Chains A and B, each alone.
Chain A
Amino acid sequence: MTAIRYADVNADVLRTLVRPKPAYYLLVIGFASALMLGALSLAIQIDVGLGLSGISHPVGWGVYITNFVFWIGIGHAGTLISAVFFLTRAPWRAPVYRAAEAMTVFAVMTAGLFPLIHVGRIWYAYWLIPYPNQRLLWVNFKSPLLWDVFAVTTYLTISITFFVIGLVPDIAAMRDNAKGLRKLIYTSLALGWNNSYQQWLHYARGYLLLAALATPLVFSVHSIVSWDFAMSLIPGWHTTIFAPYFVAGAIFSGLAMVLTIVIPMRAVFGMEKYVTPHVMQSMAKTILFTSIIVGYAYATEFFIAWYSGNPFERGIFYFRPFGEIGDLDPIAGKGQFNFAQWSFWTMVFCNVISPLPLWRYKIRTNVWALFLISILINIGMWFERFNIVVSSLQRDFNPANWGSYAFTIVEWGITIGSFGFFFTLFVLFARAMPIMALAEVKEGLEAPRRHPAQHH
Chain B
Amino acid sequence: MNAMTKIRMAAFAATVLTPFAAAAQDVELTYLTHWAPDTVKLLEEAASAYSEQNPGVAISVRAVPFGDLLTTIRSGGSGDGPTIASIYDLWLPELVRDGLVAPAPDAVSGEVTSEWPEGIAAAAAVDGQVYGIPNEINVYALNYNKAMFEEAGISAPPKTWAELQDAAAKLSTDGKQGFGLINSWAAGVVHPFASLLASNGGALIADGKPQLDSQKALETFELYETMIKEGYTDPAMGTSDANTTGPFLDNFVSGNTGMIIMANWWESALRAGMGDDFANIGTAPIPVGPSGDTARSISYSWMTVVNAGAEDAEQAAAWDFLQWLDGPDSGENGASAMAGILQSMGILPSRTSDVAAFEEALGRPFLEGYVSSLENARAFPVVLGGQEFSDALQQVIEQLEYGQISAQEAQQNAQADAESILERAQR
Chains A and B bind each other: no
